[in-house]
Amino acid sequence: MVLSYPSPQRLTVTQAEYQRAWVEINLTTLADNVRQIKRLLKPQTQLMAVIKADGYGHGAVMTAKTALQAGADWFAVATSQEGITLREAGIQAPILVLGAINSLEEIKAVVQYNLQPTLCSPQQALIFSDTLQQLGCDLPVHLNIDTGMSRLGTAWTEALEFVQFVRQLPHLELVSCYSHFATADDPDPSFMELQHQRFKEAIAQWQQHHLEPPMLHIANSAATLTDSCYHYDLVRVGLALYGLYPESHLRHKIPLKPALQIKARITQVKTIPPQSSVSYGRRFVCDRPLRIAVVGIGYADGVPRALTNQMEVLLRGQRVPQIGTVTMDQLMLDVTTIPDLQPGEIATLIGRDGQDVIPAEEWADKTNTISWEILCGFKQRLPRVYLD
């Protein structure tokens, strides 16, 4: 009863010639980012590549294979289904499921596919142990300790009892205890330091009770880049793998390059007379004759409609303004500066064309969100094209 994760079409570069729009992913860049991050870590610190949400839109399987070759040791996904997709693609590295698993069916799938679950509470640990008793097998597990995120996990003040409880339950092999920062990308480190302090207090308690410590981890991309004091036994890195910085103050730490670009084709070029309005709701009206181009990409592909009249697109290495409401499948550009533009030419919506770059952060800033959401927003309708 395992459903397969809907995966976007995967195309070769030549097949992309016939596409209206696509996501282009440079695997060499992705591998370079992995190596840069590894270089930042002590030899004993392992790299857990976070490839939830289909590898932040990059394609989880291709990202996993590339990251493994470049030195990733572990993978983290959000759901058991995402883990199953990796196993079915032949990935054998350990996979941690970060999200909560509660149903009996899902526990069975986790066992069957050799995934490693997160346990958030003693009650959940008990359910797992009972189920494993019935199945007649053991399972490696990871405990989530809540130090201030107030999402999944057991409070750090009860971490000792949680660990002791799990240790005495049959069929559970405690592999790691971890926590998650709420503000690691904030230039003000005070709350991150408080969470870290709480994590250290929990660890100190285990030590006082002579509990053999499991593996420990707390760092996401931002904490990994911020300071090696957060690295512990492994780091859980998502955004930085894909070449984006969680915050601009972390840019100087290591050189990273975005692996993803968004490209779409010009489908029509024409001149419209003065006083014409462009697109739904007439939110753009021209006061002179205007050379416009239609591009075959829209909000159903992941271009936020909120970028209407605000975004720019790269054409022949120069920025041109987008005009009128972004529609479901198409958007329009003012191409006055490129009078001989032809249908079939490729527009770069995110990425580099010549000397200029439009980063995902630019969309995030303009739509008042974060680059994580922009990356995860590219829909299945856009085929993924991989460059080596």
Decide if 58 contacts 260 (C-beta within 8 A).
yes
Distance of CA 288 to the CA centre of its chain: 43
Decide if 72 contacts 99 (C-beta within 8 A).
no
* 249 burial via Cβ count (<10 Å: 0-12, 13-18, 19+): middle
Residues comprising the binding site for substrate?
A: 151, 328
Whole-number minimum distance, CB 30 to ligand PLP, in Å? 14
Residue 50 touches ligand PLP, criterion: CB under 6 A: yes
Q: Is 366 a catalytic residue?
A: no
Residue 198 touches ligand PLP, criterion: CB under 6 A: no
Q: Is 52 a catalytic residue?
A: yes
Joined together, the tokens standing for residue 153 give 């996990």
57-86 residues near ligand PLP, rule: CB under 6 A:
none
Decide if 53 contacts 242 (C-beta within 8 A).
no
Name the segment binding ligand PLP (CB under 6 A); options: 216-224, 297-305, 315-323, 342-350: 216-224
CA neighbor of 352 nearest in space, from 323, 379, 380, 313: 313
Residue 183 touches ligand PLP, criterion: CB under 6 A: no
Decide if 146 contacts 179 (C-beta within 8 A).
yes
CB-nearer residue toward ligand PLP: 183 or 261: 183
Count interface residues toward ligand PLP (CB under 6 A).
Answer: 12
Whole-number minimum distance, CB 291 to ligand PLP, in Å? 41
Taking the alpha carbons of 373, 374, 379, 384 in that order, is the dihedral positive or negative? negative
- Out of 38, 52, 232, 263, which one is annotated catalytic? 52
237-276 residues near ligand PLP, rule: CB under 6 A:
237-239, 246
Decide if 307 contacts 367 (C-beta within 8 A).
yes
Whole-number minimum distance, CB 221 to ligand PLP, in Å? 3
Rule CB under 6 A: choose which of 220, 322, 327, 371 binds ligand PLP: 220
CA neighbor of 368 nearest in space, from 316, 278, 306, 295: 306
Name the segment binding ligand PLP (CB under 6 A); options: 104-112, 124-132, 230-238, 305-313: 230-238
Q: Which residues are catalytic?
A: 52, 280
Q: Which residues bind ligand PLP (CB under 6 A)?
A: 50, 52, 98, 180, 220-222, 236-239, 246
